[in-house]
Structure 1
Amino acid sequence: MRAPILQAAALLVLALPVTSSLSAQAPAGEDRLKRMEAQVSGLQWELDTLRKAADDQLWFQRLADVAVVDKVTYTGPPNPKGEETYGIRNERHPLKIQQYVFMPRNAPKDRKLPLIVLPHGGVHGDFGTYHVHIVREMLDRGYIVIAPDYRGSTGYGRSFYEAIDYGGLEIDDVVAGRDWAVEHLPVDPKRCAIVGWSHGGLIALMAVFDHPEKFAAAYAGVPVSDLILRLGYLGQDYVAEFSAKYHIGKEPKDAVDEYRRRSPVWNVQKLHTPLLVHSTTNDRDVNVVEVESLIRALQAAGKTFEYRIYPDAPGGHSFNRIDTTLARESRKDIYAFLERHLK
């Protein structure tokens, strides 16, 4: 975005009246450029917030017939990169997280229900109405569904965006969302599952690795599995997302242990939860080599789990989140797996 901004600003500077002092013009042009960049940057965050608010309204419209839809705010761990304000240190100021809540309208009133935690994907993504059909299927099967927009999600302004902690504190945000649901909703704490695709698949894996007592089952679809391998094949632009000053701050070659800590493939020894993994050989986002590496690591650690790698499934990275016959059949396998373990 910076190049178009600079071009527009340069045209404005050229249009300024010519004065007798060239030295006076340069600072004025630079100041105007800086102001324009600041204004455009601020507009970017405002438009992102507006987009999010508009999409939120679609949730209520598209699921009103089958669900009581709500959006709540709870707290996750403090942001260690936040600035101390009024003498209040970061550890005294937990980060606010927003979470979607979907309750089946036809749910029985006299018993607790199973829960699905559904973290979204994307390095800087959010839980959008792309997921409507999947949430509807889960509601039809009697699940309460929650979807946290953990730190780093889009639609909540710059400071929340830059609080990103991929494979780190975002996991705690999601688990805190599960704990909130157990405390405030008619949820059976022994029948909680976590389901995620892509980056959400990484979160699902890391959540059950670190908190096996809180989840009865986990599904990881096309999961990001090895950040060191992933950043190696995706190139420098992707590396920049992680090595940004407000994020990890270093590239994998300079922080191998830190990237390992955030990667499921290096944490498989902690699996104690029933797990199902899906991938496809034509995934152009999370290359199947990542998932194959995860599967081999789980097998080497002697873990019991289920998996399936589809051969060139139509849709690639989104193959079982779309509306094809194969996608629906694949999701039926997911629901059957969950039902076995959530009873």
Structure 2
Amino acid sequence: MVDDERWKARFRAARVSLPGWADDAPHRSIYRSNVTGTWEIYAWDRQSDERRQVTDRPNGTWMGTVDPSGEWIWWFADTDGDEFGVWRRQPFGGGGGEDAPAVAGLQASYPSGLALGSSGLAVVGRTTEAGNSVHLCRPGQAPETLYEHAEDAHVAALSEDESLIAIGHSEHGDSRHMALRVVRQDGTTVADLWDGEGKGVYGAGFAPVAGDTRLLVNHERRGKDELLIWDPVAGTEQEIVLDLPGEIGAEWYRDGSALLISHSHEARDELYRYDLATGDDATSNGTAGVGAVALTRIDTPRGVIGGMTARPDGTVEFSWSSAAEPPVIRSTSGSVVLAPPGPAAPSSVPVEDVWVEGLAGRIHALISKPEHGTGPFPTVFDIHGGPTAQDADSFAPAVAAWIDQGFAVVRVNYRGSTGYGSQWRDAIEGRVGLTELEDIKAVRDWAVESGLADPARLVLTGGSWGGFLTLLGIGTQPDDWTVAVAAVPVADYVAAYEDEMEGLQAFDRSLFGGSPTEVPDRYRESSPITYIDQVKAPVLVLAGENDPRCPIRQIDNYLARLAELGRTHDVYRYDAGHGSLVVEERIKQMAAEMAFARKHLDMP
């Protein structure tokens, strides 16, 4: 007997995100929570322990921040999940202060970065049909356009003294490998940083010290994510070379003397403190000397770090989970930082790591098996989105729900995934979708040959890019899959390009090597609708009516063609965007996915 309440309880359990905090008032924090059944923004005064719900909207709110002074909470107001809107703000304490547009004079747009200063200065990035722009917004004054370009761009960082603004841009035409420009408030350029074709650089924050012009930068000069400290004023670079496999991210400790390092390797994370040289050991394009640094591991459990922050007292707070255990916000002081009310989500099963030989090297997959029974199992291949993302050893209620239903779940970090180096991530360029499916098929064949998966009961599913790969998979590999469930997918790539948000159009041009007009054959070869005549598997499509990423018209095109061909299919529509922030809606969708699969696999 399947315990429906157990899997639903994982979705319904209250959760909280890692709290962000005001630089100048560290006791003032904000976080997200689903405690009301919808994800909203909350304020938390750590001194009084007072918590207050800031936003309350039918389809929820995801983006929010507190300004450095701790006086204002900013949040992004879109319409029913369409991601197009304006920043609003309200006083941290509420107290009768009403929400109002944060910057008068800026029209609605897609958000493209936000940086706030202690003086009340805001630097706002916007994306519209006209292109991308960055605006300097001084308190009580009209916004000033600081930067604009047709290609993708975003606000990357604001220096502590507010004199320097870092802008990530793709003026060279490749939004997957961006460049950096640092400008002054008058728009004059201080310096540019670009590592050339196929190598991106990304601003991760100026040193949090007044007058300090060092900018932390992620780069990929040696084929994976690493770090350097760039001083655009002095014209120096200090590469941070660590003897660690995998990929590296970081943020500053508050006094600027050290970096909090996140190390991602083989679907799991760990943390380190990296103490910078006390003397000026950096040279232009040089590497810090061995004796000038110290790398210290921070004790964290085996699993995934969903977020991290170094507090002013030197302690580190982080969000942690594993496939078996639900998320918790921990501190290196040993305490739980913030606990949501009510019972914790029921646990699930741990994952197993498998490496499968593919056409371009070893493919890493995560395997989850039901607690009872032996294989071959009915098996779900749950394909991650992105594609610049990865599946990891983190808690996933949807995966746990399939396991509770008696399915094994296989998740594949195919070529295109992050975490395995730049070459692996970029291998899909020019042959989009088809490359990823080669890796998924290699793991599929291994799962059948090893006795894990029943070849007559294979479900291919995923959301967003995973939904795209699902529809492309059942068209190009029709004999390999029994049932398909595609959530918010790309289904007709040319129509999707025409209707999607402008930032994704730039992403697609970088991925395919041009627009559908410039390289039509590549889009045709990668579009699920091209292969729809070959589809055999019953398919369920879930679609958001207001989705700017995988718009509804191109999904309707695919569904109409399925109907013309007489293929077995169903559709679940909902009034939101690229997913839902409402817990009960997510439960309805999960129930629909599992019911569809069980019906067409003749499972009671």
- In the alignment, what sits opposite 2:579? 318
Identity %: 25
State whether residues 365 and 411 of structure 2, in contact with CA within 8 Å, keep that contact through their aligned partners in structure 1: yes
Alpha-carbon distance, 1:98 to partner: 1.0
- In the alignment, what sits opposite 2:29? none
The within-5 A match list for 1:1-343 is: 1=168, 2-4=180-182, 7=190, 45-47=247-249, 50-51=263-264, 53-54=268-269, 56-57=303-304, 58-62=321-325, 65-78=347-360, 95-105=361-371, 107-109=372-374, 112-128=376-392, 132-165=396-429, 166-234=432-500, 237-244=503-510, 247-310=511-574, 312-313=575-576, 316-319=577-580, 324-343=583-602
State the one-letter code of the partner of 1:253.
T
My pick for the range that moved more, 67-76 or 125-134, is 125-134
My pick for the range that moved more, 210-219 or 227-236, is 227-236
- Partners in 2 of 1:39 and 1:240 — Cα distance? 31
State whether residues 9 and 33 of structure 1, in contact with CA within 8 Å, keep that contact through their aligned partners in structure 2: no
State whether residues 491 and 528 of structure 2, in contact with CA within 8 Å, keep that contact through their aligned partners in structure 1: yes
Greater fraction of residues in strand: 2
- Partners in 1 of 2:593 and 2:347 — Cα distance? 24
Q: Is there any run of 5+ residues in structure 1 with no aligned partner, and where?
A: 14-28, 79-94
State whether residues 322 and 395 of structure 2, in contact with CA within 8 Å, keep that contact through their aligned partners in structure 1: no
- Partners in 1 of 2:476 and 2:406 — Cα distance? 27
Gap change, CA 1:4 and 1:101, over 3 Å in 2: farther
1:254-281 Cα distance to aligned partner (Å, 9 max, x none): 1112101111122211111111111121
State the one-letter code of the partner of 1:73.
W
1:169-204 Cα distance to aligned partner (Å, 9 max, x none): 111111222112112243211111111111101111
- Partners in 1 of 2:236 and 2:445 — Cα distance? 45
Alpha-carbon distance, 1:302 to partner: 3.3
- Partners in 2 of 1:96 and 1:339 — Cα distance? 32
Greater fraction of residues in helix: 1
Partner SS, residue 318 of structure 1: coil
- Partners in 2 of 1:303 and 1:34 — Cα distance? 61
**TM norm structure 1:** 0.76
Gap change, CA 1:128 and 1:284, over 3 Å in 2: farther
Alpha-carbon distance, 1:8 to partner: 7.0
State whether residues 470 and 484 of structure 2, in contact with CA within 8 Å, keep that contact through their aligned partners in structure 1: yes
Gap change, CA 1:73 and 1:225, over 3 Å in 2: same
State whether residues 66 and 104 of structure 1, in contact with CA within 8 Å, keep that contact through their aligned partners in structure 2: no
State whether residues 376 and 454 of structure 2, in contact with CA within 8 Å, keep that contact through their aligned partners in structure 1: yes
- Partners in 2 of 1:141 and 1:68 — Cα distance? 16
Determine which structure has more spread, i.e. the larger CA radius of gyration. Answer: 2
State the one-letter code of the partner of 1:53.
R
Gap change, CA 1:133 and 1:192, over 3 Å in 2: same
**TM norm structure 2:** 0.45
Alpha-carbon distance, 1:122 to partner: 1.2
Alpha-carbon distance, 1:236 to partner: 5.5
